[in-house]
Structure 1
Amino acid sequence: MHQKEESLSTLQAAGFLGADGKPSTEKFDFWKTVPQGATTTIVAAFDPRLNDQPGAFLSNGAIANNLRAAHSADPVNAERLWTQTEEILGEKFCFLSSNSVELGSGRF
């Protein structure tokens, strides 16, 4: 990882990086390797076990609904966020079933 000198010294002063510029694991035990960091994204994208669990919360490559914050599972909040996002983007989106495939129209 390439850091600007001032960024490096700031991160070192805060204790995030050691003197060698590597992540400090003494104070912060949440650092992950690149493969560890990618695991949850890969699971979310490709694990067929999630097909019957839409909206599942994932952590460290596993379903962890017990760790999900209550506000993030609130359907009213979800609808409001969806609507605000459409307004910001100036575009309407529709939900599709998991087996929808209409490549010509951009639906997958």
Structure 2
Amino acid sequence: MRARPGNRSGVGRLPRSEPPLPIKLLAGIGFIVGILSVAGAVVLLVARTAGLSPLLLLLFGIGEVAAAIGLWRLRAWGFFVALSVLALNALLNMIEGDLVSVVAMVLLIAYLVKKSYLFH
């Protein structure tokens, strides 16, 4: 017998597994980077720095924190947010000409795609 969506009995649910160590590391580093990005954006906004960069930094920071939380909890939305943030970061690094960072982002994306079966 399957549990209804509001039923908290646990009947019919898959057991929650713990994320593998590389996912934990990616989530932990992403959380720290996201918090630092948000803090840096707030400092730039308080200092009234002109331009779009403080807002982009703030959005990337919030996205990074959200992705880290979703990855740690093995949520499907965390997987997609992480892929989006990594892809945008790779694109920006490609525009800046930072090839090493682009390769790192592509490798992280490839690892997440390989482990996509974990996220539900």
The TM-score range, normalised by the shorter chain, is under 0.3
Task: Report the TM-score, using the length of structure 1 for normalisation.
Answer: 0.28
